[in-house]
Amino acid sequence: MLDLMLVYLPAILAFFGSIVVLWLIHWLLLGRHESLGAQARLPRQLSLFALTNMALLLVIVLFPMTDSTRGQIITLLGIVITGVIALSSTSFVANVMAGLMLQVVKSFNPGDFIRVGTYFGRVTERGLFHVEIQTEDRDLATLPNLHLATNPVTVVHKTGTIISTELSLGYDISHELIEDLLKEAAKQAELQDPFVLFISLDDFSIVYRISGSLLEVKNLITAKSNLKKCVLDVLHANNVEIVSPHFMNQRQMPQGSKSIPEELHIPEEKPSVIETKPEDIIFDKAEVAAASEVLRTELDQLAEKSQVLTKSKKGLSKEEQEGIDLQIQTIEEKKHLLSNQLEKKVDSDD
């Protein structure tokens, strides 16, 4: 009996030891970092999965059996893994692989504006199987990773983007005048380097497109609305009528009159009110995700800096080491502060 136990002892110790080690690694990677988002948890989950497979292989190797039986079991395990990969055409595994591809490419991050087909919004979460975006209606849309991997994804550049609007005007208005007025409207909408394009020369009208650079993409929705509003204001202020060439009004109007709304006179003294931008309401969760991503990046940079300083202490004098210890202490205090901020943001999002 004792001999039999000694034969199976290595495999038993490896089995229970693997459970303890995997539990400890799970706690180190995931358990004590509950505030981690789906994107940050993904590589940790993959590492844990790989270690689990290695532990299983170790138990098989240590289990007392003939070499032929052990080889058959390892071969069977390889066939199972190969079969799973071969079934990547199924939605479940395909989404996992698509998620890995998106993680490697890193074409977008939480907080970025993206457009996929008819879907447009800000990314709130990236997971192993899906990407969640917050749309212009403040709703949350879940897109499978496979959908993003097989369809063109347009990402609004963080350093700025081009916004534009189109309108059609009759041939009786000088295009030089329209170009100047549209550029003025773009400047009033606080766009940089405005330019006008002639989109088409239709039978009864010319289609213009006014575009300009928006540096603060966070206010993308408001900027698009402001551009349209400024186009209306500037053209009307310069006595340019914006109507279809087929415009028909059954009211009797004096000859030469134009359909331009009267100027609204607003009192100069208005109470000071803090205006809430639409983006603050529409993309509230996406804004939290973007801020959390920034905090995680800062934490990673501080951790890396702390490791570099710790390694640099070797071979230095005691006074120099004390100076580095003070720097490390400052870094750790800042990391603690950022960690608290991150936890508060995650809690508020939940």
In a domain, 254, yes or no: no
Neighbours of 35 (CB within 10 A): 18
In a domain, 206, yes or no: yes
Give the CA angle between residues 153, 289, 146 to the nearest 5°. 35
- Cα-Cα-Cα-Cα dihedral of 313, 315, 320, 325, to 10°? 20
Please report the pLDDT score of residue 323 as a whole number: 79
DSSP string, 65-76: --HHHHHHHHHH
Please report the pLDDT score of residue 275 as a whole number: 60
**Residues with Cβ within 8 Å of residue 211, at least 6 apart in sequence:** 162, 163, 164, 186, 191, 194, 195, 196, 197
Residues 233 and 264 sit within 8 Å (Cβ to Cβ): no
- Distance between the two ends of the chain, CA-based, in angstroms? 56
- Please say which residue of 40, 70, 89 terminates a domain: 89
What is the number of domains present in the chain?
4
On the CB side of 45, how many CA atoms lie within 13 Å of its CA? 13
Residue 112: give the domain boundaries: 99-155
Residues 339 and 292 sit within 8 Å (Cβ to Cβ): no
Shared domain for 183 and 213, answered yes or no, is yes
Residues 306 and 259 sit within 8 Å (Cβ to Cβ): no
Q: What's the CA gap between 213 and 53, in Å, rounded? A: 51
> What tokens were used for 87?
């079934």
Shared domain for 151 and 193, answered yes or no, is no
In a domain, 270, yes or no: no
In a domain, 310, yes or no: yes
In a domain, 41, yes or no: yes
- Please say which residue of 54, 89, 124 terminates a domain: 89
Q: What's the CA gap between 243 and 260, in Å, rounded? A: 10
Please report the pLDDT score of residue 88 as a whole number: 55
Across 60-218, the runs of DSSP E, i.e. the strands, are: 113-116, 119-126, 130-135, 140-144, 153-155, 161-169, 192-201, 206-214
In a domain, 271, yes or no: no
In a domain, 301, yes or no: yes
Over its length of 350 residues, how does the chain's per-residue pLDDT go in tens digits?
Answer: 566 666 777 778 888 888 888 888 888 877 776 666 665 676 777 788 788 888 888 888 877 777 788 788 878 877 877 776 666 556 777 787 888 888 888 888 888 899 998 899 888 888 778 888 988 888 888 899 888 888 888 988 777 889 999 999 888 888 999 999 999 999 999 999 999 999 999 888 889 999 999 988 888 888 999 999 999 999 999 988 887 666 654 556 677 777 666 665 655 555 544 566 776 667 777 777 777 777 777 877 888 888 887 877 777 777 777 777 788 888 888 877 777 776 766 555 55
In a domain, 94, yes or no: no
Shared domain for 168 and 199, answered yes or no, is yes
pTM: 0.57
Q: What's the CA gap between 140 and 127, in Å, rounded? A: 14
Shared domain for 7 and 31, answered yes or no, is yes
Q: Is 14 exposed, middle or buried (0-12, 13-18, 19+ CB in 10 A)?
A: middle
Give φ, ψ of 240 to 5 degrees.
-100, 120
Shared domain for 58 and 83, answered yes or no, is yes
38-62 vs 2-26: helix axis angle to the nearest 10? Answer: 170
